[in-house]
């Protein structure tokens, strides 16, 4: 096992699928050998990344006025049936629990609208109780029939879901925009994963929603991956669950609702897929469980002093809230380097006789594959600056790649060509209302691609005709291949 770890080398560009499978294993992010289809173990290296992601996302939730809650993992069958679109959309995916004698049948939550909203019915009375913004973190369960893939599509995955209620439609629509902004500020600006905010076509919205805005990124193999989605629920659920409030003039009204579901497992997949290279993972400085690995060199004369310096640096990093660790193992230096590079650690601090003498360290930067000398007295400040630069560089690189992968197309042939070159195609389309579904189905069948939707951020105006049916185009849509 340790042999394969020191020699990780797979071409990410040519064999992304193999690269992805192997790096999850080599870096001990996940283990797929749990023995139940679609259920995997997230190992410590993955768990620590995930914990940092959760912490950042929860802090974003709180900053924007959301409060945490813990709802049961189970949902009574009766609740589940209350909103017609919702039950139709989710029932095929539900895991049911064998009923205890005389008790109701329970679902393992595939999402928690029908858990939250029965309580909102009890908690909301007056306009003073609004807005109500609440979230929970945890795992949800969907009995996928498609092929599963670790962190990308599973039958249990980690997420956050927020469920908000407002007095007016306007506030709810603003929340949808705020949710997209949160995706931008966390997923893009911290996790360094660019995305397209896609207003889904009507046939692809969340079951029970008025409309849905998904966030799509593209993986190196050209597959589109859906990341956090936000949903304008309108009053569909508030009517089904009778969630009303009394306004200032004593009128009873149904609340307006939104929900938002940042899927942590998938975002982790996108971070791993976007940033790694042939040598293994590259983790954003902000997310890496170890931000600085310290590798003391063996020395015949100065072993003790070198170890002491390593301990001192480690302690200083701790005090400065930088996650560091000393590699005390008796591996050869080269082995240590390969190992921590493969794990995606942003910075390596090497200390040997020369460094000790000159009061410097040799600092190695993972993504640049570059070494530089840094004075020990400047180390903390340097790491902090370089850490910010590291993440900014990841964002810039991802943005550039992402931009190059979105291509405007004027003909069906162009679309076909771009899709098979691992790109997202952008083109004139008849309609994202129900009447556009025929063209979308054609695209799915002929090009094995999915119409992702229209860009919610830019108001892109079509001119001309739908490239498929020849009707007047009412939308510019994006399409890509998905897993």
Stretch that binds a copy of itself, among 35-43, 80-88, 275-283, 469-477 (CB under 8 A): 35-43
3-state SS, residue 29 = coil
Residue 402: CB partners within 8 Å, gap ≥ 6? 194, 217, 218
39 touches a copy of itself (CB under 8 A): yes
Query: Taking the complex as a whole, how short is the minimal distance between the CB of residue 103 and a copy of itself, in angstroms?
Result: 7
**Nearest residue (CB) to a copy of itself, 212 versus 265:** 265
Stretch that binds a copy of itself, among 135-143, 192-200, 269-277, 462-470 (CB under 8 A): 135-143
100 touches a copy of itself (CB under 8 A): yes
Full DSSP string of 400-461: HHHHHTEEE-SSHHHHHHHHHTT-EEEEEES-SSGGGHHHHHHHHHHH--EEEEEESSS-PP
Torsion angles phi and psi, residue 101, rounded to 5: -50, 125
* Residue 28, CA atoms < 13 Å, CB-side half-sphere: 12
Q: Report the DSSP pairing between strands 450-455 and 475-482.
A: antiparallel
What whole-number distance in Å separates Cα of residue 416 and Cα of residue 200?
A: 21
- Interface pick for a copy of itself out of 5, 24, 27, 46 (rule CB under 8 A): 46
125 touches a copy of itself (CB under 8 A): yes
What whole-number distance in Å separates Cα of residue 208 and Cα of residue 86?
A: 5
Task: Return the closest-CA partner of residue 187 out of 288, 266, 95.
Answer: 266
What are the b/e assignments for 442-461, b being 16+ CB within 10 Å?
A: ebeeebebbbbbbbbeeeee
Q: Report the DSSP pairing between strands 106-108 and 74-76.
A: antiparallel
388 touches a copy of itself (CB under 8 A): no
Torsion angles phi and psi, residue 481, rounded to 5: -85, 140
**Nearest residue (CB) to a copy of itself, 78 versus 312:** 78
Stretch that binds a copy of itself, among 61-69, 173-181, 294-302, 359-367 (CB under 8 A): 61-69
- Interface pick for a copy of itself out of 14, 63, 69, 457 (rule CB under 8 A): 69
Query: Taking the complex as a whole, how short is the minimal distance between the CB of residue 104 and a copy of itself, in angstroms?
Result: 7
- Interface pick for a copy of itself out of 87, 134, 361, 394 (rule CB under 8 A): 134
Stretch that binds a copy of itself, among 103-111, 395-403, 423-431, 434-442 (CB under 8 A): 103-111
**Nearest residue (CB) to a copy of itself, 36 versus 301:** 36
- Interface pick for a copy of itself out of 139, 148, 246, 316 (rule CB under 8 A): 139
What are the b/e assignments for 72-100, b being 16+ CB within 10 Å?
A: ebebbbebbebbeebbebbeebbeeeeee
Q: Which position has the token pair 């409309």?
A: 211
Query: Taking the complex as a whole, how short is the minimal distance between the CB of residue 268 and a copy of itself, in angstroms?
Result: 11
Beta bridge partners of 293: 325, 348
Query: Taking the complex as a whole, how short is the minimal distance between the CB of residue 106 and a copy of itself, in angstroms?
Result: 7
Query: Taking the complex as a whole, how short is the minimal distance between the CB of residue 121 and a copy of itself, in angstroms?
Result: 10
Task: Return the closest-CA partner of residue 225 out of 210, 234, 236, 214.
Answer: 214
401 touches a copy of itself (CB under 8 A): no
Query: Taking the complex as a whole, how short is the minimal distance between the CB of residue 33 and a copy of itself, in angstroms?
Result: 6
Query: Taking the complex as a whole, how short is the minimal distance between the CB of residue 311 and a copy of itself, in angstroms?
Result: 17
Q: At what angle do helices 379-404 and 303-319 cross, to 10 degrees?
A: 70
321 touches a copy of itself (CB under 8 A): no
34 touches a copy of itself (CB under 8 A): yes
63 touches a copy of itself (CB under 8 A): no
Stretch that binds a copy of itself, among 132-140, 201-209, 302-310, 437-445 (CB under 8 A): 132-140
**Three-class SS of 281-329:** CCCCCCCCCCCEEEEECCCCCCHHHHHHHHHHHHHHHHHCCCCEEECCC
- Interface pick for a copy of itself out of 50, 124, 272, 290 (rule CB under 8 A): 50
- Interface pick for a copy of itself out of 9, 37, 359, 472 (rule CB under 8 A): 37
Stretch that binds a copy of itself, among 70-78, 204-212, 388-396, 437-445 (CB under 8 A): 70-78
- Interface pick for a copy of itself out of 21, 22, 56, 76 (rule CB under 8 A): 76
> CB of 441 within 8 A of CB of 447?
no
Number of residues interacting with a copy of itself: please give it, by CB under 8 A: 51
Residue 63: CB partners within 8 Å, gap ≥ 6? none
320 touches a copy of itself (CB under 8 A): no
Site for a copy of itself in 152-211 (CB under 8 A): 156, 158
141 touches a copy of itself (CB under 8 A): yes
- Interface pick for a copy of itself out of 6, 15, 22, 48 (rule CB under 8 A): 48
- Interface pick for a copy of itself out of 35, 319, 370, 459 (rule CB under 8 A): 35
What whole-number distance in Å separates Cα of residue 108 and Cα of residue 90?
A: 11
3-state SS, residue 201 = coil
Torsion angles phi and psi, residue 117, rounded to 5: -75, -25
> Where does this chain bind a copy of itself (CB under 8 A)?
1, 31, 33-37, 39-44, 46-48, 50-51, 67-74, 76, 79, 95-98, 100, 103-104, 106, 108, 115, 118-119, 122-123, 125, 134, 136, 138-139, 141, 143, 156, 158
């Amino acid at each position: 096992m340790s042999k394969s770890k020191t020699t990780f080398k797979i071409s990410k560009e040519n064999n992304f699928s193999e690269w992805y499978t192997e790096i999850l294993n080599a870096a001990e992010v996940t283990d797929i050998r749990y023995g139940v289809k679609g259920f995997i173990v997230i190992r410590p290296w993955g768990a620590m990344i995930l914990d940092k992601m959760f912490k950042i996302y929860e802090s974003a939730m709180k900053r924007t006025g959301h409060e945490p809650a813990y709802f049961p993992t189970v949902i009574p069958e009766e609740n589940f049936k209350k909103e017609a679109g919702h039950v139709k959309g989710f029932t095929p995916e539900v895991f049911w629990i064998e009923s205890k004698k005389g008790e109701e049948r329970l679902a393992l939550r595939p999402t928690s609208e029908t858990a939250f909203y029965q309580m909102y019915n009890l908690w909301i009375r007056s306009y003073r109780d609004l807005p109500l913004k609440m979230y929970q973190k945890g795992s949800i369960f969907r009995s996928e029939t498609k092929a599963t893939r670790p962190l990308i599509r599973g039958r249990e995955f980690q997420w956050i879901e927020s469920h908000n209620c407002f007095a007016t439609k306007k506030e709810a629509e603003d929340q949808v925009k705020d949710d997209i902004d949160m995706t931008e500020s966390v997923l893009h600006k911290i996790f360094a994963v660019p995305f397209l905010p896609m207003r889904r076509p009507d046939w692809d919205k969340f079951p029970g929603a008025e409309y849905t805005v998904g966030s799509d990124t593209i993986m190196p193999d050209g597959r589109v991956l859906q990341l956090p989605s936000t949903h304008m629920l309108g009053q569909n659920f508030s009517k089904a669950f009778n969630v009303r409030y009394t306004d200032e003039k004593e009128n009873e009204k149904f609340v307006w609702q939104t929900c938002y579901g940042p899927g942590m497992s998938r975002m982790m997949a996108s971070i791993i897929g976007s940033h790694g290279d042939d040598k293994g993972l590259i983790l954003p400085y902000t997310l890496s469980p170890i931000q600085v690995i310290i590798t003391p060199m063996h020395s015949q004369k100065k072993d003790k002093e070198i170890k002491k310096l390593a301990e001192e640096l480690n302690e200083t990093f701790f005090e400065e809230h930088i996650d560091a660790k000393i590699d005390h193992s008796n591996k050869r230096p080269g082995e240590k380097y390969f190992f921590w590079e493969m794990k995606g650690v942003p910075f390596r601090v090497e200390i040997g006789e020369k460094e000790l003498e000159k009061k410097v360290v040799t600092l190695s930067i993972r993504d640049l594959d570059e070494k530089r000398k840094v004075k020990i007295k400047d180390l903390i400040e340097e790491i902090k600056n370089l850490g910010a630069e590291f993440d900014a560089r990841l964002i810039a690189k991802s943005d550039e790649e992402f931009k190059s992968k979105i291509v405007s197309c004027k003909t069906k042939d162009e679309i076909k060509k771009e899709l098979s070159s691992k790109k997202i195609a952008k083109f004139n389309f008849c309609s994202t209302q129900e009447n556009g579904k025929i063209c979308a189905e054609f695209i799915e069948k002929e090009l094995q691609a999915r119409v992702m939707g229209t860009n919610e951020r830019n108001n892109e105006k079509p001119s001309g005709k739908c490239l498929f049916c020849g009707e007047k185009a009412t939308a510019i849509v994006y399409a890509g291949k998905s897993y």
